[in-house]
Amino acid sequence: MIVFSLLYGIISYYGEMITYIGMTMPMAVVALVSWLRNPFNGRKAEVKVGSISKKETFFMVFLTTVVTVLFFFILRYFHTANLIPSTLSVTTSFIAVYLTFRRIPLFALAYAANDIVLVILWSLASIADIHYLSVLICFAVFLVNDIYGFVSWQRMKKRQLFLE
């Protein structure tokens, strides 16, 4: 995710660039550290599935709201095309990375929601310029991958609960 954020930030327009390089990439670094510090049963090949309390869920929603509002104004300042879907992309990205950091399987569904928003955004861009079609296809594949990831994480969570 760290490398993807950098590369995607380079090819994107200002709004997505600011979102991925300024928010998603730094949060992905924090998530990586969290994953490395939380191996399952001491095995470095598998991360321990995390949990989240109701209190922390409210905290996540609060942070998401603050980040969404802040980025709305940043994106508007840069005259971002499709401002509302771009802002929604920030929201889904933030939730996804937050849940990734906490090692919650729902992170994959949040990324899937983000993929849907990005498929819509890049579909609109592809209508204007066919060269964006490859990015559209990329996010369509990410959507399938994230759905598979959610299923896999749910299985891993059940297995870990059984083994504990």
Phi, psi of 43 (to 5 degrees): -85, 120
Query: In the chain, what are the domain boundaries?
Result: 2-37+54-163
Neighbours of 47 (CB within 10 A): 18
Query: Digits of tens for pLDDT over the chain (164 positions)?
Result: 666 666 666 666 656 666 777 777 788 888 889 888 988 988 878 899 999 999 999 999 999 999 999 999 988 998 888 899 989 988 998 999 899 999 999 999 999 999 999 999 889 989 999 988 998 999 999 999 999 999 999 999 999 998 87
* Closest C-alpha among 123, 113, 122 to residue 91: 113
For position 23, what pLDDT does the model report? Answer: 75
What pLDDT does 12 receive? 64
Q: What is the DSSP string of 15-83?
A: HHHHHIIIIIHHHHHHHHHHHHH-EETTEEEEEPP----HHHHHHHHHHHHHHHHHHHHHHHHTT-SSH
Widest distance between CA atoms in the chain: 53
* Residue recorded with tokens 């959610």: 150
Q: What is the pTM of this model?
A: 0.85
